[in-house]
Structure 1
């Protein structure tokens, strides 16, 4: 390429200089254009690059010298790529920007969530109550305020603690989701730099890079098509146009970021990155609306609002009682002995306290808080177990899954493919004396089919540890490695000797791929067509076959049956059968086929049959059995033929003893799609294996299962529509395409089915932990409301003050939520059937457990309040401390009961939950500190605070009494669980 430079001309005036930028004259090796030097160090600026692609401006592209001219301006060699040195990368980023803007998800600061918590109506009401209480104390007590500020101050401190905990959890969840956003967007991109193909992060792509694209990729930046075959893209993620757009060099070479490659493969020249792309935001894989609540959050909020309705009625009763009690106090109370009662401000303060008690007890934010806390903690722990949650609500749905539709390759198998058998004609290659005894012509044809008919443009690279190795998908690598080892194939030499004229890429419907090639060195008008794919499908296209001597033999019905027998024998051994076939066409016919975009599919000559082994994962059978025990059906959906699928399904335990011979257990996709709707609905539950299936067959199966009321999870590599249709889409982190990952809810990072089973376990664990907290919190709520209601009606005084109630929620409630949220999946979770999507959160078992504990706590506090002084002998000054201490310890002991909602042994595996034990220890420590060293906050009775603060405290007998009373909740919990009760759900 030769270029006449004109550095004195500004690139900003490029489009106004048609004489300078006349249409380039191209030859095989020469483009003559005049290009001025730009002030960014390159010969073109970002504005022109952006506009050319955004406006699909072919005329301007031609003035620039076409794609070759743009590559020259960007200092890119079309064969070896950019220089790629650190200085070169930095220079390109300075001139054209970086591809990092996809990381800029809205990460909110901690102060944002603090402010949001402050603005919540519940918090504002509680702060108002605290301020009013303080104001009344200042007005009422004046100089004695130092001894009387504790109730208002205690409420304020408790509210600030609630704000801090809420903001912390929300900030943590925001950071966790942002971390998932960054991980999911950190895609590995294939580029060529300095003549070496390499994988880089999507964030490291720069303008001028040459990127390799294949089916299932999302385009990482704006750019121009360089070369490739059958490239079609889908831009529906950005535009309303849902048509598949064909991209080629002559008519439409424009590629935009975030478009999906739905067919073919190609190379592209990057022209814009980051904020300069047409899309404006790179790979927007996670679109989340913080205002959108998950289904479980909606149900928890509905439950909380039901509780609020009840507590509002209680509040009305308390306020009315306070009002009338205060008005009647002149006639019923001795004002001289109790002057505080004569003060109308105390009536107001009593009403404020009642409001604060009810608000703190029945706030729905407590339950929503624990849902967020549980989900956030679980998502972080699931990452350790190779599960990346992209949609938090999917965690909730996993507990209801009744059917898992899983692919075979890589999930049930190791994805370590190896050619086990290869048949030349009707003779296995290992029975041939040596590869040198095979006809060179046949060997050359096989090498053409293996080396040039690749789905992803497989290539040979180098590894420091392993030397030379092949890159591509697992099947391609297996075939290329076999050809290199057994037939001494030189991949680079093959690619140099042949030109690829047209490609029909592999798709899941046809199960085959084809290529039209020409020998560069041979002076001939004959072209070769090579087909590769599912053995029985390629066999049906053949009318002859080669033997090892290179002789062509007709394939009559007898011979065809022999080949079918070979295929079935390999399939019965669990081998994936791949066939190679070819034919010759004239140059004119080849051009006609290219124009029609359809290769010849009949009268082919069979070259050989390969049996490819992909061993099952050793842990899969146990995982499948675990799912069966949990009431979850496993269906294998694969593109393999029925014989191969049957062998794998038996080995993995999907087909159990006797099932393999059951009618309808194994169905091929073509048979399934030809069923009537009624037949599909009748048979779909009994299908264990769907073989030779296309994406449309898989979609149809998922839709049928959903119509039958099944809750379906699907794992897949490239079935984006199926993943979206399922209740939970599970994409594969290693094999899965970016399109599939974007469509999924959870990414299985290690592609292992055992990890899919772990996702089920985590879903049940999350749901169970939330149920445990609901029971725990409702026990506190019921007992607190009933105790205060009875106390107010009977004596006119609260047994538990507003400050004490808030401290129960702050210490016991919040820390209890954290303790229960950190519980890991228990071994017995997979012994229960799935929970229906629409079933209530609270079961009859939970009602039984919580009512028993609440009744016990109510009874204990009524006895302590009425007869505590005469029974246990505490002084009046510390009587309230004893009540508060006992009540709080009852909640701490009860947290052990809710660990196991149905099991009698609440201490089983508790030693494994060290976080739970640490948090419970912190709860006990805080309770001791509050009672022993912050007694002013534990006692808000109207007494001499100065004396109390220095002289009165609980002795060892008092502490022993409190602990003994609280510990009774354990045997009560054990006895109550012996009462049989139907497993029904409500709310």
Structure 2
């Protein structure tokens, strides 16, 4: 492409004119990433009605309307509308909250336009623009360096590498990339790519190529809905055909078929699932996790593997000095990040510049040979400059070294990738001197002496070997090692020779303090944690060791590329960590794990994490440090960037799935009782035991309210002490089906017996009694589902006060349905007498007692087995 900046009459220094920039923008567009398939509010709302159960409800409503049952139509319409509104509110709230987190691309840029420097909106940049990069600025577009002085970039958001990269004109080091941060120095660069054409944009496009996936809960509920729908259609059609064959009235049989269809489909299920997940999502927001989709937290609860980035996720993304080495002393340094709260210790005793002359000179070199600075802002310490230099400045503060005057540096030879060191000329009390810092081998090569507690000593082979061994050991432990030296300045010039070696500083991007416990909790829950980082293998292994993360094997991205899929599958069955990886590597790892039927959660905050975040079963991004691309690709955004929040979210997800399983089984057992009573009554030729309106009342009003309260049960005590559920774990399952059939058979037969027992006197009375009995049975059976394996006395009868309130409300609503005239008209009920309530009370006792006795016996047997195993 022609470069307008080069072709301009004023030459490159003048930059583009406004007219040239506008012409280029017509060709290249705005400097911003395409928003992709940003879902509008209407589409989000309509998406709530794509669930198969909801479609069945819509069909039932249409049939009821066609038959003139307008009350039924209204009731069905209300539950459909409630489900849609609740789902829309939560998902749209998550989308708008995410919009407020957009902050990756720099909003402004310093550019040369019309021959002068001016601040413009970053989105206005075009290829050919001249931009000026300064410390602390975010690079607004891909560019080629024309001039640079001590330029170092933090590319961790793009590559995962936590150590700043040196940049200079000429060669590969001349390319700078959008979204990276200037850690130190200043540069003039010409823009080469903007928006989607940047390296940042290419990764975003790779992310967009990964399709949306359904969660396991959606798959399970969809399968259940289809099974129920087809079963309802088949049975209702069979009953309709049988009735017509027997000569029954066609309108009556249509209503019977509709009643059966309504009874078989738990109309309240979509709304209950939506409400439960929405309340769970709201609870997670209070715990600093934003679920972009309602099912996200539930899916995280099933995670069997967490693939996590290192930089900014497991670590603080703040370089910190943890060790100082001199020839005769090794110092330990406490504290993390750029907060000077910490100290330097030798032999367990706190020390500093006043007590240790060698340490004082080393700290002075770190404080003076730098472009970094610390300052307090809003009660917090902020660092400006390169992370490594910031760590050395923070070290000086911890050692109580004197801060150099602002004008102490007289001259400088900046750091470069070729020299691998930086030197400054400073004025001091005894005259001018040179201070140098850089790669240990480079600094050591300049020295002829080494400073000790007894003064300078000649640097011989023995001392050189000791220094070399020290920095090799530190490097092997994953530390980044910096050497520091001092020298004389004859003639007031920087002379990098005959210097005195001061010592070594070992730095690392430290782990977040809460992460080790979080990883331990995840492993206790049967969840593997795999580190996938762009950083070096040594650093990755050091961080893994500090976090208690097992890593029997370390594999680099290049080694991964050479592996066949079968070999990668074998390696992934071991404890392994991955280093020097690129986005495609992360996607391959996630895909391979999914091929092993693992449910994979991927955490990360950088652009390089985004494709794998979207590929994973659930992507978890960081809300503070996370890039826009990463947030857009994720299902869950951690608002506090706290890895430990993931473990809490896993617990919440397990609680949600268990509760969904509870209320699905509860609702189906209620429906089973209604269906059994209806079917047997029809087969024996009796009048309709339940009207469609009464079934809707049971399924929506009484059962729906109770199921929502059941969905708010607290997590069971051992939910984080067992392995994750299987990917294909059913919501109902064989044990659940047996429970549903047993309860349904009893409640159906009991209500049918009551109906037939009272039928001789009054059909409306018999139907009202059977209708009320079924409601009471369903309220009593909820206690059997509060825990799927623990008796109520173990979890506490009053541990879910909302459930008790829901039972009181629904029983009260049923009493009103029996005695309040408006509801009597709507539901076709008549008042019951005391003896009728007495019969209902006797019939409900087995529903209350039998499940609790069975669960108590199983619990006691389990405890005896556990004690016997412990004794053995």
- Please give the TM-score of this superposition, normalised by the length of structure 2: 0.71
Q: Where do 1:172-571 residues align within 5 Å?
A: 172-185=89-102, 229=151, 260-261=179-180, 293-326=214-247, 347-363=249-265, 367-390=269-292, 394-406=296-308, 419-425=321-327, 427-428=329-330, 446=366, 451-452=370-371, 460-465=374-379, 469-471=382-384, 477-483=390-396, 486=399, 488=402, 498=412, 531=438, 547-548=450-451, 559-560=464-465, 563-565=468-470, 568=473
For 2:823 and 2:527, how far apart are their aligned partners in 1?
A: 56
Q: CA deviation at 1:973?
A: 2.0
Q: CA deviation at 1:221?
A: 8.6
Who is 2:580 aligned against? Answer: 694
Contact 1:544 1:553 in 2 (8 A): no
When Rg is computed on C-alpha atoms for both structures, the one with the higher figure is 1
SS at match of 2:92: helix
Q: CA deviation at 1:863?
A: 0.8
Q: CA deviation at 1:106?
A: 2.0
Who is 2:60 aligned against? Answer: 126
Q: Does 1:931 align with 2:836?
A: no
C-alpha change, 1:235 and 1:898, in structure 2 (3 Å) is closer
Write out per-residue CA displacement over residues 939-973 of structure 1, whole angstroms, 9 at most, x where no aligned residue. 866xxxxxx7xxx5124443454355345322232
Contact 2:510 2:543 in 1 (8 A): no
Who is 2:24 aligned against? Answer: 52
C-alpha change, 1:698 and 1:391, in structure 2 (3 Å) is same
Between 1:293-302 and 1:112-121, the stretch displaced more is 112-121
SS at match of 2:451: coil
- Please give the TM-score of this superposition, normalised by the length of structure 1: 0.64
SS at match of 1:299: helix
SS at match of 2:297: helix
For 2:175 and 2:513, how far apart are their aligned partners in 1?
A: 47
In the comparison of the two structures, how many residue pairs are matched?
788
Who is 2:481 aligned against? Answer: 578
For 1:770 and 1:491, how far apart are their aligned partners in 2?
A: 65
C-alpha change, 1:56 and 1:441, in structure 2 (3 Å) is farther
Who is 2:791 aligned against? Answer: 904
C-alpha change, 1:255 and 1:564, in structure 2 (3 Å) is closer
Who is 1:69 aligned against? Answer: none
Who is 1:170 aligned against? Answer: 87
Q: CA deviation at 1:551?
A: 7.6
For 1:782 and 1:933, how far apart are their aligned partners in 2?
A: 28
Who is 1:765 aligned against? Answer: 655
Write out per-residue CA displacement over residues 351-388 of structure 1, whole angstroms, 9 at most, x where no aligned residue. 33134224423448755554444433322221111222
Contact 2:141 2:179 in 1 (8 A): no
Q: CA deviation at 1:284?
A: 11
1:856 to 720, 732, 746: 746
SS at match of 2:795: coil
Contact 2:132 2:187 in 1 (8 A): yes
Q: Does 1:749 align with 2:639?
A: yes
For 2:72 and 2:190, how far apart are their aligned partners in 1?
A: 60
Write out per-residue CA displacement over residues 64-90 of structure 1, whole angstroms, 9 at most, x where no aligned residue. xxxxxxxxxxxxxxxxxxxxxxxxxxx
Q: CA deviation at 1:411?
A: 5.6
Q: CA deviation at 1:778?
A: 1.8
Q: CA deviation at 1:157?
A: 2.9
Q: CA deviation at 1:432?
A: 9.2
For 1:190 and 1:226, how far apart are their aligned partners in 2?
A: 23
Contact 2:289 2:639 in 1 (8 A): yes
SS at match of 1:129: helix
Contact 1:882 1:958 in 2 (8 A): yes
Contact 1:544 1:555 in 2 (8 A): no
2:522 to 614, 627, 641: 627
2:779 to 886, 892, 895: 892
SS at match of 2:301: helix
SS at match of 2:751: helix
Q: CA deviation at 1:299?
A: 2.7
C-alpha change, 1:255 and 1:888, in structure 2 (3 Å) is farther
Q: CA deviation at 1:569?
A: 7.8
C-alpha change, 1:801 and 1:699, in structure 2 (3 Å) is closer
Who is 1:969 aligned against? Answer: 847
Who is 2:504 aligned against? Answer: 609
Write out per-residue CA displacement over residues 765-789 of structure 1, whole angstroms, 9 at most, x where no aligned residue. 2221221222122213322222212
For 1:22 and 1:211, how far apart are their aligned partners in 2?
A: 18
C-alpha change, 1:617 and 1:957, in structure 2 (3 Å) is farther
Q: Does 1:23 align with 2:9?
A: yes
For 1:756 and 1:539, how far apart are their aligned partners in 2?
A: 42
For 2:636 and 2:796, how far apart are their aligned partners in 1?
A: 29
For 1:185 and 1:939, how far apart are their aligned partners in 2?
A: 52
Contact 1:53 1:255 in 2 (8 A): no
For 1:106 and 1:837, how far apart are their aligned partners in 2?
A: 31
For 2:377 and 2:424, how far apart are their aligned partners in 1?
A: 31
Write out per-residue CA displacement over residues 145-191 of structure 1, whole angstroms, 9 at most, x where no aligned residue. xxxxxxx2431331232233222223223323323432442569687
Q: Does 1:954 align with 2:832?
A: yes
Write out per-residue CA displacement over residues 273-301 of structure 1, whole angstroms, 9 at most, x where no aligned residue. x9999999xx9999899997434313321
Q: CA deviation at 1:835?
A: 1.0
Who is 1:10 aligned against? Answer: none
For 1:831 and 1:422, how far apart are their aligned partners in 2?
A: 42
Does 1 or 2 have the higher relative contact order (CA < 8 Å, sep 6+)?
2
Q: CA deviation at 1:314?
A: 1.0
Instruction: Extract unaligned runs of 5+ from structure 2.
Output: 111-119, 159-166, 332-345, 428-433, 488-498, 863-872
Who is 1:660 aligned against? Answer: none
